């Protein structure tokens, strides 16, 4: 019941104590098998400015990325207890690995008009002197789309986190190659069949130049490229983003990093330690774009509202190959007890576990009926006040004892039972299951079905990252043999993709931010992925490109647009990039009224975003001049996060001239808890505050001051936060 330890870590310890993990189990849990034993990836929350590097290293561990509050670490299994007991550590967490989620798409978003330098653009923009970072399954570095016209590589660095070799500076694992080594042919990194060349395809969308066969150029075809081949371990993903930004800083170039990956683990409010770490890495000239995830058609979520009653939701495990299925439960206020039950294939109730009340756990229990065991389960409800959002947190983990039991829907339907009073959100995570859609009475239980709302994955729920959904621009293609193929399932051209994950975030914010093409996307094909033999229908004429779909394909379109914008202004902040993208996004009969939780602010339009950027100075000069500077009262005030009326306060202000605006939220001790800087035109603007600090954590109830400085103007007013 140690409050310093996340339920995710406690569940991991339960699995380790079984002493029978296979290599597949270890991979699914995000563990690394070494000659010396298992190595565990953890994210530590530490006391501000505390340095624990030497202590971690003394235990045989390594430190990856470190900030004032967090650090990614890799420790031997036998050092876990000692790490947890370190006085400088306030919280320990562990996350399962994420999963990976142009011939028509580039013209659709009008990137070709940016490449051509059409008016009002002063010249062509193609991402020159900007770094596009790709964190993915790797890259086929020999592909012609990633070479200059003289045959030299456009790739500055490759870091393969999955092999051992010449390690990069600051990180004690993996193998790094620079451009000279890539040009010499000594690079041995491959983007193989495990993820069907996903990283190569993603890189081609964002930054391919089309030189391989003279077509299929990406959005930023002259950008420099840095690729990190990852195993999708969240610690490694965070280290990868740090790696790209470190190299970009050393080279004096701005950078945008694309993350076409996601998980449904976490509270879906942007407060997880990975999201806070990533939010701390972005800034001027440092942008992260992330896929919304592909659960728009999957019941990964359920929501229960209880008033002194009992409700249930069924869920199923897909496969016994993946040895576990997990449910993540989050709620505020009230007290809810949780239990696990099962229905047989005739929908009769098998049995039910004991109820687990807040602050307690039931670990390593066999779910058995009449001598038959279906799985080993843990219900952990020990966390009653998560340090990042103050919520109750319950985790259900079921495993099949490394394949010893059949815990899939062929054998039973699992049932999450909840009783008490409260409003609960839950997600099936780990990619091996979903909630059942059935609602009604069955086997003496009151069932509430699952849905695909609130399915934006982590880290895409962070407000500091740009989140991208997918829409349809094409439904058919002609392959290398001249055969025409058509998608069997598609919402149709112009529509949102059926798989594109849906908002809002659990705390009520609109996500995704924007949508981009994500179906029947043609891009670079890795020669090492075995695509022609496995998917011949997807291979295009010339046999250098192929077709994929997903929000994984949508995200690099927007990353490429961000690279074009950074070529024009290398100091753009994530807030400004998002502002230009959302203010110029296309809305039509397909999007309906925007913003909304399917489309965000609409369909990305590279040309309009760039036009707004390059004309911003002249717009500022010609903008209507406000009579005077004014800071209005915030609304609502008090901001009561428990009322359900509003989850954010609107703060309006008026500028008499274009200014760099510095906005701060300050507590009674004079500490700045939230700050944003943005250049804005003359006129009336507004800022929204959701009661959270810089790291995304909810602040305590109390009096706060909102303060704005713009040129020679400086105003402050008081507001009250209640939660």
- Three-state DSSP class for 404? coil
CA angle 114-118-119, nearest 5°?
125
CA distance linking residue 268 with residue 87, whole number of Å: 29
CA distance linking residue 336 with residue 314, whole number of Å: 18
Predicted local confidence at residue 646, as pLDDT: 55
Residue 618 has pLDDT above 90, yes or no: no
For the segment 526-553, the average pLDDT, to the nearest whole number, is 95
CA distance linking residue 493 with residue 592, whole number of Å: 15
Report the C-alpha dihedral over residues 67, 73, 78, 84, rounded to 10 degrees.
20
Residue 284 has pLDDT above 90, yes or no: yes
CA distance linking residue 234 with residue 176, whole number of Å: 19
- DSSP tag of 540: P
User: Domains (ranges, CATH) in the chain?
Assistant: 1-94 (3.30.70), 99-295+457-614 (3.40.50.200), 299-451 (2.60.120.1290), 630-722 (2.60.40.4070)
- Which range is least confidently modeled, 239-243, 390-394, 630-634, 685-689? 685-689
Residue 617 has pLDDT above 70, yes or no: no
CA distance linking residue 629 with residue 566, whole number of Å: 30
Per-residue pLDDT tens for 464-521? Answer: 999 999 999 999 999 999 999 988 778 889 999 999 999 999 999 999 999 999 999 9
- Three-state DSSP class for 259? strand
Predicted local confidence at residue 627, as pLDDT: 58
Position 209 confidence tier, pLDDT thresholds 50, 70, 90: very high
Position 15 confidence tier, pLDDT thresholds 50, 70, 90: confident
Task: Indicate if the alpha-carbon torsion angle 259, 554, 222, 526 is positive or negative.
Answer: positive
Up-side HSE of residue 612: CA atoms within 13 Å toward CB? Answer: 17
Residue 129 has pLDDT above 70, yes or no: yes
Predicted local confidence at residue 591, as pLDDT: 95
Q: Are 66 and 53 in contact (CB under 8 A)?
A: yes
Q: What mean pLDDT, rounded, does the chain reach?
A: 92
Position 50 confidence tier, pLDDT thresholds 50, 70, 90: low
Up-side HSE of residue 236: CA atoms within 13 Å toward CB? Answer: 26
Task: Indicate if the alpha-carbon torsion angle 636, 637, 643, 647 is positive or negative.
Answer: positive
Q: What pTM does this model have?
A: 0.86
For the segment 210-227, the average pLDDT, to the nearest whole number, is 97
Residue 620 has pLDDT above 70, yes or no: no
Residue 668 has pLDDT above 60, yes or no: yes
For the segment 226-248, the average pLDDT, to the nearest whole number, is 97
Up-side HSE of residue 77: CA atoms within 13 Å toward CB? Answer: 18
Residue 102 has pLDDT above 80, yes or no: no
Per-residue pLDDT tens for 570-591? Answer: 999 999 999 999 999 999 999 9
Predicted local confidence at residue 623, as pLDDT: 42
Q: Tokens in use for 25? A: 């189990």
CB-neighbour burial class of residue 478 (10 A; exposed 0-12, middle 13-18, buried 19+): exposed
Q: Are strands 413-429 and 713-722 parallel, antiparallel or unpaired?
A: unpaired
Residue 644 has pLDDT above 60, yes or no: no
């Amino acid at each position: 019941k140690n409050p310093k330890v996340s339920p995710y870590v406690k569940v991991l310890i339960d699995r380790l104590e079984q002493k029978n993990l296979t290599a597949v189990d270890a991979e699914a849990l995000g563990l690394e098998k070494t000659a010396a034993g298992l190595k565990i990836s953890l994210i530590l929350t530490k006391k501000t400015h505390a340095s624990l590097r030497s202590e971690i290293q003394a235990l045989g561990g390594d430190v990856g990325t470190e900030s004032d509050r967090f650090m990614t670490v890799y420790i031997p299994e036998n050092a876990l207890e000692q790490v947890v007991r370190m006085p400088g550590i306030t919280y320990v967490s562990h996350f399962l690995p994420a999963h990976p989620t142009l011939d028509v798409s580039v013209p659709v978003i009008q990137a070709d008009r940016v490449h051509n330098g059409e008016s009002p653009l002063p010249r062509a923009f193609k991402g020159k002197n900007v770094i596009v970072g790709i964190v993915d399954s790797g890259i086929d570095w020999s592909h012609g789309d990633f070479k200059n016209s003289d045959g030299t590589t456009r790739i500055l660095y490759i870091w393969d986190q999955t092999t051992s070799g010449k390690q990069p500076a600051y990180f004690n694992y993996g193998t790094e190659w620079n451009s000279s080594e890539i040009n010499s042919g000594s690079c041995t990194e491959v983007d193989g069949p495990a993820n069907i060349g996903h990283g190569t395809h993603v890189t081609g969308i964002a930054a391919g130049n089309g030189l391989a066969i003279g077509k299929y150029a990406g959005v930023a075809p002259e950008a420099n490229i840095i690729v990190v081949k990852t195993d999708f371990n969240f610690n490694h993903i965070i280290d990868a983003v740090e790696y790209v930004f470190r190299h970009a800083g050393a080279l004096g170039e701005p950078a945008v990093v694309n993350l076409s990956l996601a998980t449904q683990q976490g509270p879906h409010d942007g407060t997880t330690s990975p999201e806070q770490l990533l939010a701390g890495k972005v800034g001027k000239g440092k942008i992260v774009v992330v896929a919304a995830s592909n659960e728009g058609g999957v019941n990964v979520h359920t929501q229960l509202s209880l008033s002194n009653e009992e409700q249930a939701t069924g869920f199923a495990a897909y496969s016994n190959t993946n040895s576990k299925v997990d449910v993540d439960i989050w709620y505020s206020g009230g007290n809810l007890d949780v239990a696990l039950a099962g229905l047989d294939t005739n929908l009769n109730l098998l049995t039910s576990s004991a109820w687990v009340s807040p602050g307690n756990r039931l670990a390593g229990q066999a779910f058995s009926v009449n001598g038959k065991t279906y799985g080993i389960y843990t219900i952990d409800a020990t966390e009653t006040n998560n340090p990042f959002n103050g919520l109750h947190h319950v985790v259900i983990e079921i495993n099949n004892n490394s394949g010893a039991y059949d815990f899939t829907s062929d054998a039973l339907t699992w049932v999450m039972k909840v009783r008490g009073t409260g409003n609960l959100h839950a997600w099936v995570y780990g990619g091996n299951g979903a909630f059942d859609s059935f609602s009604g009475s069955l086997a003496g239980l009151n069932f509430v079905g699952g849905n695909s709302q609130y399915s934006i994955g982590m880290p895409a729920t962070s407000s500091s990252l740009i989140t991208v959904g997918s829409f349809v621009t094409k439904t058919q293609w002609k392959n290398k043999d001249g055969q025409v193929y058509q998608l069997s399932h598609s919402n149709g051209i112009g529509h949102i993709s059926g798989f594109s994950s849906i908002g809002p975030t659990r705390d009520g914010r609109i996500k995704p931010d924007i949508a981009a093409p994500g179906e029947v996307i043609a891009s670079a094909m890795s020669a090492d992925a075995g695509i022609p033999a496995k998917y011949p229908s997807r291979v295009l004429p010339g046999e250098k490109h192929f077709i994929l779909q997903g929000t994984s394909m949508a995200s690099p379109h927007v990353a490429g647009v961000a690279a074009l914008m950074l070529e024009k202004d290398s100091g753009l902040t994530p807030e400004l990039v998002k502002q230009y993208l959302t203010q110029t996004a296309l809305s039509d009969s397909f999007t309906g009224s925007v913003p909304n939780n399917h489309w965000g602010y609409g369909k990305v339009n590279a040309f309009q975003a760039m036009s707004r950027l390059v004309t911003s100075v002249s717009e500022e000069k010609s903008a209507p001049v406000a009579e005077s500077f004014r800071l209005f009262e915030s609304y609502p005030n008090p901001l009561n996060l428990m009322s359900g009326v509003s989850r954010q306060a609107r703060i309006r202000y008026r500028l008499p001239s274009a200014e760099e605006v510095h906005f701060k939220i300050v507590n009674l001790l004079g500490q700045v808890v939230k700050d944003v800087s943005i250049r804005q035109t003359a006129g009336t603007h507004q800022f929204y505050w959701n009661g959270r600090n810089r790291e995304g954590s909810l602040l305590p109830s109390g009096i706060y001051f909102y303060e704005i400085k713009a040129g020679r103007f400086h105003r402050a007013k008081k507001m009250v936060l209640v939660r």
